[in-house]
Structure 1
Amino acid sequence: MAEKAGITVRTLRFYRERKLLPAPRREGRIAWYNDHHLARLRTIGALLDRGHTLGGIAELLAAFENGRDVGELLGLENPLGAPWSEETPVRLTPEELADYFADDVTPENLAEALGLGYVAVDGDDLVHVSRRLLEASSALVDLGIPLAAVLAAARRVRAHTDALADVFTGLLRTHVLADALARDEGGAPHGDAETAEVAKAVEGLRPLAKSVVEAELSMAMDRRIRAEPAARPKPEEHPGEPGA
């Protein structure tokens, strides 16, 4: 195992003592390692090459092992057909995640991303629920915004988008699905035609809701950007050196 991982036996034993590596399966005095151990050793080596300390790697791996399973994140079934989300999940090794966010890959940020449901654990890999969110988060960090601040903003955005979803589903429930919901409460069974009608209504709402939210957000950003110059102090209010 040490030879395959490109390390010494002494280093392998040291990683085991530091709890960086799960214990091998024992048969008498023989220790059996497997591909999971090899993947973990390669991850440790890659994270060390990227400047992480052994202590930091241990904390990252602990957060990694306590994360939500990918089945919990992606395995939800929608009774009305395909899920609304059109996002593409992205499979990442821990070192690939470090390539996206460099020093911002900390146990705290990983735990927050797991808690938000952005990432989940699948064997020795992570799965990010959305390529668009992953790339947008990375771009914000590249602009100089700490990942912790990006994730904190994501929680605020989540609250607002949940409220928006309530608005649109409320419209659908009140004005489109009222009769079907009333029959549900009365215990009337759904026929195939009725189920198809409900699914069609839900699917039809998808592009409309997206269009409204995107248009309103664009206009809101325009309003904020136009308001920014007015919010800045005038030069005469805070005199300084010429040209300041």
Structure 2
Amino acid sequence: MTSSVEYTIDELARIAGVTVRSVRVYHERGVLPPPRVRGRTGYYDTAHLARLQAIGRLLERGMKLAGIKELFEAWERGEGLAEVLGLVDQVATPYHAETTETVSVEELGKYGTATPENLRRAITLGVYEPADDAGTYRVLSPRLSRFGAALIDAGVPVERALAELERLTADCDRIAARHVRLFHELIWEPYKRSPRTPDDLAQVTRYLAVTRNMSTEAAAELISRALQRSLEADTPELLDAVRDVETGHSIRDAGLR
């Protein structure tokens, strides 16, 4: 990495639009090469700047630093462009890429999330993040936002809606952890011991593509079945009432029979 242009860490961070602490973290995680040191000062060049900008773009796509490190290492080993980009697509791209929007505190207020505690919980859940210092928030997950709003519109108190989202998040974290353990055992560890050819890397990306679809679609199907079984077992009169309404009887009539 050679260049006639040199930057101190403060200059590099300012030009790249990141904090000095972020640059140091990237060093510690092995995703940014160290600077050349002269005396007691480290100097960076345009290659460092390009790497730092690439890290920023990958982070924006949802990729974690560990995945970014693996990507750069694969690239530096000379693995094929198609295979490297395939890995990026499977690891870096969110499963549902959604267009983000911004909302004001006033807009959040109609759903009860404008209170400091409720807003904090929604931010922790990854539904919103501060967009500026003027009380504007970016909607990180329109789907979760719509789901929470639908619960509240259906009569669920906002605190209960947030609690349900928190429980769902914990459940999904456990499901994801099982899949990650399976991935490491069956795919990643064998890949690390392999010659790491393009075919070896392609096997990794194929697994990731399949497991992402499998886990989400299978979970939706299984949850739907479980809900139906639970309703039939715990609330049979509700299902009877619904069937009566569908056939032209009212729920009141169903209760009088």
- Normalization by structure 2: what TM-score? 0.52
1:112 aligns with 2:98: no
Q: Secondary structure of 1:85's partner?
A: coil
* Mapped partners of 2:122, 2:184: distance in 1: 32
Looking at structure 2, the residues matched to 92 and 74 of structure 1 have their Cα atoms a distance apart, in angstroms, of 20
Which amino acid in structure 1 is aligned with residue 184 of structure 2?
Answer: R
Taking structure 1 as reference, are residues 75 and 163 closer, same or farther at Cα in structure 2, changes over 3 Å only?
same
Q: For 1:150, give the aligned amino acid.
A: A
Seen in structure 2, the aligned counterparts of structure 1 residues 117 and 173 have a Cα distance that, compared at 3 Å, is same
SS at match of 1:145: coil
Measure, in 2, the Cα distance between the counterparts of 1:217 and 1:97. Answer: 30
Separation in structure 2 between the aligned mates of residue 203 and residue 84 of structure 1, nearest angstrom:
12
The equivalent residue for 2:148 is: 137
Q: Does 1:208 align with 2:218?
A: no
Unaligned runs of 5+ in 1: 1-70, 233-241
Higher relative contact order (CA 8 A, sep 6+): 1
Determine if contact 1:87/1:132 at 8 Å carries over to the other structure. no
Q: Does 1:86 align with 2:86?
A: no
The answer to whether the aligner puts 1:222 opposite 2:228 as a matched pair is yes
**Distance in 2 of aligned mates of 1:86 and 1:120:** 18
Is the CA contact (8 Å cut-off) linking 2:113 and 2:119 kept in structure 1?
A: no
Alignment-derived partner of residue 10 in structure 1: none
Deviation at 1:127, TM superposition (A): 1.3
Number of matched residues?
156
- Maintained 8 Å contact 2:129/2:138: yes
Name the SS for the 1:86 alignment partner: coil
Q: What is the aligned-residue RMSD (CA, Å)?
A: 2.9
Bigger shift: 198-207 or 86-95? 86-95
Give the Cα–Cα distance (whole angstroms) in 2 for the partners of residues 194 and 86 of structure 1: 26
Q: Structure 1 residue 96: deviation in Å? A: 2.6
Q: What is the identity, as a one-letter code, of the residue corresponding to 2:145?
A: L
Question: What secondary structure is seen at the aligned counterpart in 1 of 2:167?
Answer: helix
Specify every segment of 5 or more residues in structure 2 that has no aligned partner in the other structure, as ranges. Answer: 1-56, 68-86, 239-254
The letter for the 1-side match of 2:228 is: D
